[in-house]
């Protein structure tokens, strides 16, 4: 597999700077003596194990290569290869490693793949599998993350995994499929494929997403017309009197909570980052209107949008252009949706998920060129123009204004511009940006400075304004020599045990360490306190919120190093989130936490060497907020479209058996995209919205007295969900065409919720 991928990449020359990263050994003479036997064993194992290649030609090539390397006359003696061939092999190996190193470097730098340092091509395969929504266990077992029922028992069955260097090609479906057109057979290869020695799981009955559900071509219905009536229904099919009968096998019911009757939690959808361009014009309003209508059909409560400081006040201080947002808000009001507005005082671009570039206002950048200390600075003196340093909150360095005054003027302009939307209650919440990515934290993990997950990050307190504050605090303590940052805290991609500050028993828990970390987190809390006090004035009567990021890696270590560099003083012997929650309580602000969908198993698979615990972090933050009585909103940190992740969000949003009945204030789905608009993923999202609203699962029954299924007619969407909920173990549905455009009706049934098109007889 690795060789095939590398051949497709190309053979351009480049220095082998990253050869050390590859876990590949050079072939020396001793390796070549043993290589023939190993190759022979592998080829024989592959043939005996049923490892099929893509075509007979590729099998012939493998056999030909084997014959060229090994001869078996009489005693099976091995033919010695000339010295020149050995040298050529070494050169090819070096060249292959150089190409693979460039692949990995590109994936780390541009693809945002979390690859270990000594990665190989198998890690790339594993990363691609996870990107597609699959789970790759530490032992190599691979299965769709939403197909829990298809997991191999014990996790020991052979599977198509990252540890295998072979890829299994699609096989011819069994001939036992009766009454199925050739086109349909091709599409269900994935579901019916079984090969000797290889486990390939079937899609789960709950697996409705496009990542694991193949696009099934239309099958012939009554009158020769093609339909998509069994897009999600597996099993055998028979043709009787020109009508198709689908024989659905028993479907195991996965354990899921019933959310019927649970509290109503509104669901919002975040709009794309670039929905308004740099000229403050609404991008493609017609297409956006169509997408908003689709969201409305799913009973979504509203949308969230970033109101970028770099767009609205781009050129001149206190000259604001809200034209694009005015048109967007009017569109939202006409659709009777709600709005959550984000005061985005940070730069967009360069972080994970950023697909547009929106810098800070030009006039701020001009000030930064002459006074770079207005930006956060690391120990090496590198500036981060992603947001303004909190050291200038009370410094008049922005054309005669402090940073806090600039933020207040911007929020006051927004409130005056959209007064009618506040009065009518259309704007239900305003989220105030307090740092990078709009989150209350230091920019300790900047990708532009080389940080990669799961690095601990670096402290960002070396601009002159924060250093002046540190010096003043140290002198007040009576220890002026403490007016410095730690010099043994490692670098962006260090691990805690590699540093003297964060290791177990390190300086973080000493006298100086506790002093420094107390000052570092106090600067963060004071910044939030100052900005929120003015936001409360600007948006009086409207719920304000603050976004908090989930720094869950290294959570199981004593120091919680990644949290410390981000400003959360939360080592194992201290609750670092209680003080933040108390500050939010002071201003009656909600906490928007962005780690509610993370799962422990995923982190263990991705980076077993970084003891992460997202679930433990989630509950610590939620309990800290609920302890002081502040509302909690949430959003997913990474895109999610599968049922397993949605269920995890639901469990956090509505804790089971909570004696106080606590739950989220609202949830925001990240974000509106073409993938979300696809029929299958939207179907799953629509189901999630209903459960967040407390409606439980889809209720397809209209009149329980009409037939044994409780309905004389139901849409295709309800039919699939009713089957997938396991309400019947063995059902034969007779699909009957109603009208001449059944295929079109079925393809739109996830959106229009039509009650015709399929009759159950």
> Which residues form the catalytic set?
439, 635
Residue 421, both tokens: 């939307």
Alpha carbon 636 to chain centroid distance?
Answer: 8
Q: Judge whether 69 and 63 are in contact, CB under 8 Å.
A: no
Q: Judge whether 491 and 416 are in contact, CB under 8 Å.
A: no
DSSP state letter for 656? T
Alpha carbon 422 to chain centroid distance?
Answer: 32
> Which of 205, 151, 206, 297 has the alpha carbon at shortest distance from 645?
206
Strand partners, 375: 388
Q: How many CA atoms lie within 13 A of 626 on its CB side?
A: 19
Query: How large is the C-alpha radius of gyration of the chain?
Result: 30
The runs of H, that is alpha helices, within 231-315 are 285-297, 309-312
Q: Judge whether 374 and 368 are in contact, CB under 8 Å.
A: yes
DSSP 295-310: HHHTT--EEEEEEEHH
Alpha carbon 62 to chain centroid distance?
Answer: 39
| Distance from C-alpha of 199 to C-alpha of 194, rounded to nearest angstrom | 7
Residue in this structure with the two tokens 């266990």, named with its chain if needed:
137
Strand partners, 90: none
Residue in this structure with the two tokens 């009706």, named with its chain if needed:
745
| Distance from C-alpha of 400 to C-alpha of 363, rounded to nearest angstrom | 13
Q: Which residues contact 395 (CB under 8 A, 6 or more apart)?
A: 402, 403, 465
Taking every pair of Cα atoms in the chain, the longest distance, rounded to a whole number of angstroms, is: 94
| Distance from C-alpha of 752 to C-alpha of 747, rounded to nearest angstrom | 10
Q: Judge whether 268 and 303 are in contact, CB under 8 Å.
A: yes
Strand partners, 134: 144
* Burial class (CB within 10 angstroms; exposed 0-12, middle 13-18, buried 19+) of 73: exposed
Which SS3 state, helix, strand or coil, does residue 568 take?
Answer: coil
DSSP state letter for 77? P
Q: Return the axis-axis angle of helices 742-752 and 716-724, rounded to nearest 10°.
A: 70
Strand partners, 592: 547, 633
Residue in this structure with the two tokens 């939690």, named with its chain if needed:
265
> Which of 230, 294, 238, 243 has the alpha carbon at shortest distance from 746?
230
| Distance from C-alpha of 585 to C-alpha of 564, rounded to nearest angstrom | 23
């Amino acid at each position: 597999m690795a060789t095939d991928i590398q051949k497709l990449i190309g053979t351009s020359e480049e220095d082998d700077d990253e050869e050390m990263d590859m876990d590949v050994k050079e072939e020396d003479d001793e390796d070549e003596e043993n290589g023939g036997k190993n190759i022979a064993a592998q080829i024989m194992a592959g043939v005996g194990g049923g490892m099929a290649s893509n075509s007979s030609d590729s099998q012939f090539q493998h056999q030909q290569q084997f014959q060229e390397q090994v001869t078996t006359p009489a005693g099976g003696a091995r033919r010695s290869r000339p010295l020149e061939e050995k040298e050529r092999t070494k050169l090819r190996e070096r060249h292959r490693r150089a190409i693979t190193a460039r692949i990995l470097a590109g994936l780390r730098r541009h693809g945002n793949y979390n690859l270990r340092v000594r990665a190989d091509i198998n890690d790339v395969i594993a990363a691609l599998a996870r990107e597609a929504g699959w789970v790759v266990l530490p032992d190599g077992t691979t299965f769709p993350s939403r197909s829990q029922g298809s997991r191999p028992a014990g996790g020991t069955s052979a599977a198509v995994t990252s540890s295998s260097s072979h890829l299994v090609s699609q096989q011819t479906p069994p001939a036992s499929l009766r009454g199925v057109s050739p086109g349909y057979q091709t599409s269900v290869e994935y579901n019916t494929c079984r090969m000797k020695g290889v486990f390939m799981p079937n899609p789960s009955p709950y697996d409705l997403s496009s990542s694991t559900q193949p696009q099934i071509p239309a099958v012939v219905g009554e009158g020769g017309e093609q339909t998509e009536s069994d897009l999600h229904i597996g099993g055998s099919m028979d043709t009787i009197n020109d009508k198709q009968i689908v024989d659905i096998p028993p479907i195991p019911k996965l354990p899921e909570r019933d959310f019927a009757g649970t509290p109503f939690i509104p669901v919002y959808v975040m709009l794309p980052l670039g929905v308004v361009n740099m000229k403050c014009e609404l991008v493609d309003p017609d297409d956006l209107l169509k997408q908003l209508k689709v969201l409305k059909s799913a009973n979504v409560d509203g949308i969230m949008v970033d109101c970028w400081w770099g767009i609205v006040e781009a050129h001149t201080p206190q000259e604001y252009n809200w034209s694009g947002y005015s048109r967007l808000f009017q569109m939202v009001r006409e659709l009777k949706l709600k709005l959550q507005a984000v005061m985005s005082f940070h730069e967009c671009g360069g972080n994970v998920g950023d697909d547009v570039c929106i810098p800070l206002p030009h006039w701020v950048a001009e000030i930064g060129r002459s006074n770079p200390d207005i930006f956060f600075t690391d120990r090496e003196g590198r500036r981060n123009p992603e947001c303004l340093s909190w050291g200038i909150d009370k410094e008049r360095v922005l054309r005669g204004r402090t940073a806090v005054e600039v933020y207040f003027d911007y929020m006051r302009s927004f409130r005056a511009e959209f007064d009618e939307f506040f009065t009518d209650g259309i704007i239900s919440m305003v989220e105030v940006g307090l740092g990078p990515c709009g989150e209350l934290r230091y920019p300790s993990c900047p990708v532009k400075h080389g940080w990669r997950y799961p690095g601990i990050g670096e402290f960002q307190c070396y601009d002159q304004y924060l250093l002046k504050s540190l010096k003043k605090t140290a002198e007040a303590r009576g220890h002026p020599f403490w007016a410095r940052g730690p010099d043994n805290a490692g670098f962006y991609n260090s691990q805690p045990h590699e540093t003297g500050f964060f290791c177990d028993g390190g300086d973080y828990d000493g006298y100086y360490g506790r002093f420094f970390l107390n000052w570092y987190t106090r600067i963060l809390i004071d910044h939030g306190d100052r900005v929120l006090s003015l936001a409360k004035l600007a948006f009086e009567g409207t719920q304000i919120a603050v976004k908090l990021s989930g720094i869950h890696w290294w959570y199981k270590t004593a120091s919680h190093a990644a949290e410390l560099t981000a400003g959360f003083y939360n080592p194992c012997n201290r609750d670092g989130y209680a003080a933040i929650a108390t500050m939010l309580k002071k201003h009656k602000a909600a906490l928007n936490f962005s780690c509610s969908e993370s799962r422990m198993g995923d982190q263990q698979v991705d980076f077993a060497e970084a003891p992460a615990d997202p679930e433990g972090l989630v509950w610590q933050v939620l309990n800290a907020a609920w302890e002081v009585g502040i509302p909690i909103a949430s959003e997913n940190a990474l895109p999610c479209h599968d049922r397993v992740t949605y269920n995890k969000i639901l469990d956090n949003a509505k804790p089971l058996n909570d004696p106080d009945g606590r739950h989220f204030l609202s949830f925001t789905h990240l974000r509106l995209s073409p993938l979300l608009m696809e029929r299958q993923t939207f179907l799953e999202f629509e189901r999630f919205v209903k459960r967040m609203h407390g409606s439980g699962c889809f209720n397809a029954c209209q009149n329980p007295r009409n037939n044994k299924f409780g309905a004389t007619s139901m849409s295709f969407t309800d039919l699939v969900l009713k089957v997938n909920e396991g309400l019947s173990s063995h059902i034969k549905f007779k699909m009957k065409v109603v009208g001449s455009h059944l295929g079109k009706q079925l393809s739109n049934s996830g959106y229009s919720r039509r009650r015709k098109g399929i009759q159950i007889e």
